[in-house]
Amino acid sequence: MKVESARPRGVYAAVLTPVTEALQPDIKLFAEHCRWLLANGCDGLAPLGTTGEANSLSLAQRISLVEAMAATRLPMARCIVGAGSCALADAVALTRATLAAGCDNVLLLPPFYYKNPSEDGLFAFFAEVIERVSEDRLRLYLYHFPRLSTVPITIPLIRRLTKAYGPRIAGLKDSSGDWSNTKAFLEAFPGFDVFSGSEEFLLDNLRAGGVGCISASVNVTAPLAQPVHRAWATPQADKLQRELTEVRLILQAYPTPASLKQVLAEITGHRQWLNLIPPNHPLAATTQAVELMARLRALPQMQAMLGARAAV
């Protein structure tokens, strides 16, 4: 009998995907980065989401990356793998591949090409994925990111899905950037596993009953985010959160994932990090990149961390 893995909790990085000059996923660098994240503050990994440029990768590339994660012995039980796709069959195939690789947790965008879909249509999409995969161990995390997908995950839709599929609808990542929206999800569904999409709201989310964050900038801020998670019930947490938020606000002022890849290239010496899949494009080298690094290095909470990562 399969032993159920622990439900995801804490600080998760929406993992960047390093790519080669030929724009193929760089498996070796990806695995190195994942291991650094797990050793330096991350409770888990959330690859193949928006930050990971997943919808710029083919289905075959995405499945290959999931299989490579398992082959390189990354802890799949500590992952939430993105399987979002406009194509139902692709979402099903990637969800199946994720389960086959030993990960029960899947983060799923709504289908986002056709605009203003009905609630019935969205329910049918998620229901078809669950029914076709047909695995009770599946834990589906809904991905609410209306700024990019333009298709929101609503409270009535969650209510219908949880009524129909129970624990297979495990939780939600709220990337709305609006704390009041995250709070509304938490109040509507006590016990639902809600992750904030930004570590700016990590402390608020934990104190309101949420389970953590799944964030792009945790690729850089993991060592600052974990102390907030550990200390959330203590008076020290507020200061730690302010320091974390200060870094997050700088990073999000520049295009993602270009800003994060720029930081990793600067502090690791791996210029491969500067490669992005079009239409994503690197920061302007003599203006944006210089300014970003100067702003980060001016923060006391970043100086030791940047030096430690460079030394790895």
Q: Which residues are catalytic?
A: 50, 113, 143, 173
What are the backbone angles phi and psi of residue 39, rounded to the nearest 5°?
-85, -10
3-state per-residue secondary structure call for 76-123: HHHECEECCCCCHHHHHHHHHHHHHCCCCEEEECCCCCCCCCCHHHHH
Rg, the chain, Cα only: 18
Distance CA 145, CA 50 (A): 9
- Answer yes or no: are the C-beta atoms of 219 and 15 closer than 8 Å: yes
Contact in structure between 101 and 73 (CB atoms under 8 Å): no
Burial (CB count within 10 angstroms: exposed 0-12, middle 13-18, buried 19+), residue 163: exposed
Nearest to 221 by CA among 263, 186, 180: 263
